[in-house]
Amino acid sequence: MPHKVKAVISRAKDAPVEVVNIIVPDPGPGEVIVDVLTAGVCHTDLHYKLGGIGNDYPYLLGHESTAVVSQIGENVTNVAVGDRVILNWRAVCGQCRACAKGQAQYCFNTANATQKMTLEDGTELSPALGIGSFAEKTLVAAGQCTKVDEDADAAAVGLLGCGVMAGIGAAINTGEVKRGESVAVIGCGGVGVAAIAGAKLAGATTIIAVDLNPTKLETAKQLGATHTIDSSKSDPVEAIKELTGGFGADVVIDAVGRPETYKQAFYARDLAGRVVLVGVPTPEMKLELPLLDVFGHGGSLKSSWYGDCLPSRDFPMLVEQYKQGNLDLDAFVTERIKLDEIEAAFDKMHEGTVLRSVVEL
Ligand SMILES: NC(=O)c1ccc[n+]([C@@H]2O[C@H](COP(=O)([O-])OP(=O)(O)OC[C@H]3O[C@@H](n4cnc5c(N)ncnc54)[C@H](O)[C@@H]3O)[C@@H](O)[C@H]2O)c1
Ligand SMILES: [Zn+2]
Ligand SMILES: [Zn+2]
C-alpha cells in the first residue's frame, strides 16, 4: 500500500517552500522506505530552491538524514527493517570503471530509487541528491542506507550524510592530512568547519581558519582551529605564511569555491603542498594562473566530491569517533526545528547565523 506522508517541496524557482502530502510507493527490488528521524538544512537544498541545480520542479528537498528502515523491497540484503541508518548520495555500483579499479569512492554510476514519489495528483517529484528527506518517509536505493549505531544523537550524526562528511573528507581523504602537518581552511561555514574538525582528527598541529565573518572564526576555534585570520582585514596568503615559518601550509582547503579563494589557497601552500577544492563554483567562474607557478610549486591540486567518502567505511568510523569524544558533531547542530520552519532556516543560512538547522520529524 502506498503511503501518504507530510513533506517539504520546492514547487517553482524561488517560490517559498511548502509543506504538502506526498505519495511514497511500496519499495521495488533494491529499494527501501525509511522513516526519517532528522534532516539537516544544507546549502544545496537552497541551491535547488533557487534554481541553481536544475529546472526539474517540484523538488522534494532534504538529504542530510538519520532514519529507520521501515520497509524493504526484494533483493535487499545490506539493511533490515528497524535498522538505524544514515542516508548517503553515494550508493556505489561495484561495476563501473572506478569501482573495478577498487576506487569505489569515485563511483561513476551511483544508485537512487528507480520508482518515483509523487504529489497527490500524480506529479512526479525530483528528490534532492536522489534522497528527498524533508519528509516523514522517503524511498531510496538500499545502498543509500548505511547502518550505524543507534546509540548516538540522530540530529548530530545525520549531518555526516552530506556537508560535514564533505568537509571532514576533504581533509582526511582528499587532502590526506597527516599527524603534525599544517592545514589552512578558507571559508568556515558548515563544510569548512568540518574540514577543520577533520584536520584535527587526522593529527594536524597547526590549523588555520580563514573567513570574512568573525562569528564563523569563533566557531572554527571551537572545532579545533589553532589560529584564525579575518581575510576582510588582512591578506590571508601573507598571514598563513607568517604562521607557518614563512613557507605556507602543507594542505590548504578552499571551502568557498571562488577564483579569488582558490588563488589564495594556491599561493598559501608550501612547496609540494596540496590544495583541495571542496567549495562548489558556479558555471561563469574562470581561473587564471601563471602555468610556471603551477609547475614551480609542485604538489597537487585536487577537487573533493562528498569528501571522497565511502559511506560504508567512513560513516560508522566517524560515528564511533563522535561517541568517543574525538569529533564534536553536536557543535554543528545550531537549532532543532520542525518541517514548517525550513523557509526561516534558509533565511538564517543566508544571514550566516547558523551552522546547521536540523529538522526533527
Ligand atoms: N564538494 C562537496 O561535495 C560539497 C558538499 C556540500 C557542500 N559543498 C559546498 O561547500 C561550500 C561551502 O558550504 P557551506 O555549507 O559551508 O556554506 P556556508 O555558506 O555555510 O559557508 C561559506 C563560508 O565562506 C565564507 N566566505 C565567503 N566568501 C569568502 C571569502 N572570499 N573568503 C573567506 N571566506 C569566505 C562565508 O563567510 C561562510 O562562512 C559551498 O559551495 C557548498 O556548495 C560542497
Ligand atoms: Zn561504480
Ligand atoms: Zn548537502
Compute the mean pLDDT over every residue in the chain, rounded to the nearest whole number: 97
Cβ atoms of residues 8 and 19 within 8 Å: yes
User: Which distant-in-sequence residues (6+ apart) come within 8 Å of 315 by Cβ?
Assistant: 86, 88, 146, 148, 157, 160, 165, 309
| Nearest protein CA to atom 33 of ligand 1, as residue | 211
Give yes or no for residue 351 having a pLDDT over 90.
no
Question: Strand, coil or helix: what is 37?
Answer: strand
| Nearest protein CA to atom 24 of ligand 1, as residue | 187
The Cα–Cα gap between 30 and 35 comes to: 17
Output the pLDDT for position 57: 97
| Nearest protein CA to atom 19 of ligand 1, as residue | 189
Output the pLDDT for position 278: 97
DSSP 297-333: H-SEEEE-SGGG--HHHHHHHHHHHHHTTSS-GGGG-
Give yes or no for residue 52 having a pLDDT over 90.
no
pLDDT grade for 352, boundaries at 50, 70 and 90: confident
Cβ atoms of residues 171 and 253 within 8 Å: yes
Question: To test the ligand 1 pocket, which listed residue (261, 263, 280) has its Cβ within 8 A of the most ligand atoms?
Answer: 280
Write out residues with Cβ below 6 Å of ligand 1.
43-44, 162-163, 166, 186-192, 210-213, 216, 231, 255-258, 260-261, 278-280, 304-306, 352
| Nearest protein CA to atom 35 of ligand 1, as residue | 187
Cβ atoms of residues 167 and 278 within 8 Å: yes
Which pLDDT tens digit goes with each residue over 64-107? 999 999 999 999 999 999 999 999 999 999 999 999 999 999 99
The answer, yes or no, to whether the previous bond of 58 is cis (omega within 30 of 0) is yes
Q: Where are the alpha helices (DSSP H) in the chain?
A: 43-49, 97-100, 154-158, 163-169, 190-201, 214-222, 236-242, 259-267, 291-297, 311-323, 342-351
Question: Strand, coil or helix: what is 227?
Answer: strand
The Cα–Cα gap between 182 and 269 comes to: 9
Distance 191 CA to ligand 1 centre (A): 6
Give yes or no for residue 356 having a pLDDT over 90.
yes
8 forms beta bridges with 19
